[in-house]
Amino acid sequence: MGCGGCRIRFNFWKVLSKASVFFTMVLIFTYFFYCLTGFCDSTPRALFKQQTPHRDYDISIDRRRMLEELRPSPRCVRNTTAAPRAQQVDAVGQKSKNESAQSSGIPVSNTFGTKRFPQAIIIGVKKGGTRALLEFLRIHPDVRAFGAEPHFFDRFYDKGLEWYRNLMPRTLEGQITMEKTPSYFVTKEAPNRVCTMNCQTKLIVVVRDPVTRAVSDYTQTLSKNPGLPSFQSLALRNATTGLIDTSWSAVRIGLYAKHLESWLQYFPLSQFLFVSGERLVSDPAGEMGRVQDFLGLKRVISDKHFYFNQTKGFPCLKKPEGSSRPRCLGKSKGRPHPDIHSEVLQRLRDFYRPFNHRFYQLSGQDFGWD
């Protein structure tokens, strides 16, 4: 009887042991089945990242490749020749950006495009119509521009080219990067500095009758400093002799020929486009057609984009789709000019005449200011 009980207990534990092994094997096979069919990917990312950091890195690489393949093809491709130095900084900068994005976990969608040095710069002139030109150009889908004036080549050159490039918006293939800083045209060091970045850069200069430009410049300064002396006292070194004071910046900026001669020491005339500030007001579509041709862009900006604002006295952009109102330049544009004695204005015209003729010769265009 006692031996029979021992055999029963022995058989019970033997059966229990076999059952445990059986259920363990079932669980193991179930786990491997789920992993092989991909259900293990539902493991929370935080846990998965801690256990297998190399695999998480590979996933980010795969996503990047997939998104690159899904990127839409550009509308057009431009061939631009960049200076070796600019290319080198671009390549090194982009590589470090990509490595930084991958290591920090930044979504790949936020790194589309490349920050490039400007292929074209609006270098002048102040109060010539540079802001209007830039705003008109930004309508074009293949133009990306830095909105503010970076003043890199005249004020912040010591910050370095990498700092400058990082200011620029990201662009895709077929798009061009631009910026505008009107003071570059009158800055002695600017031509050499721009050429150091890229001697193939295209340069746009918006010019206007230098007398009208000087009055507009004075009007802007007067609005900020109501205690400013009269235009006559600033423009004339001696009221009796009528000698013009060329040390006053409002007068000096209008010596277009002298400034252009400095730029032509570093850039051929073929890399310049001289835009008429007067025609930008009277025929914005026609002048913008010239600009688009110069930049190698398809003519997208046309008459349909403009209307003339009678109050301001210059063209504005028509209401874009999805906007409640048209786009016009700010209140600082189109200010009424103060009354200035006609004799003072005539003295200025006489003073500028030889400089204007020299500018016509250098630029190959007669702007008809005389």
CB 123 within 8 A of CB 184: yes
**Which residues make up each annotated binding site for 3'-phosphoadenylyl sulfate?**
127-131, 208, 216, 333-337
Number of H helices, E strands in the chain: 14, 11
The set of residues, in sequence order, having a beta carbon less than 8 Å from that of 261 and lying 6+ positions away, is 362
Is residue 287 packed enough to be buried (19+ CB in 10 Å), middle (13-18) or exposed (0-12)?
buried
Among 22-36, 49-63, 161-175, 236-250, the minimum mean pLDDT is found in 49-63
**Which residues make up each annotated binding site?**
127-131, 208, 216, 333-337
Q: Which residues pair with 202 in a beta bridge?
A: 120
Catalytic residue among 127, 298, 318, 331: 127
pLDDT of 56 over the 70 cut: no
pLDDT digits (tens, 9 = 90+) for 252-303: 999 999 999 999 999 999 999 999 999 999 999 999 999 999 999 999 999 9
Q: Which residue, 295, 291, 261, is CA-closest to 274?
A: 291
| Average pLDDT in the chain | 80
pLDDT of residue 17: 72
- Annotation says 127 is catalytic: yes
pLDDT of residue 208: 98
pLDDT of 41 over the 80 cut: no
Q: What CATH number does the domain located at 114-210+250-332 have?
A: 3.40.50.300
For the chain, domain boundaries: 114-210+250-332
Is pTM, for the whole model, over 0.75? no
Q: Which residue, 359, 327, 263, is CA-closest to 134?
A: 327
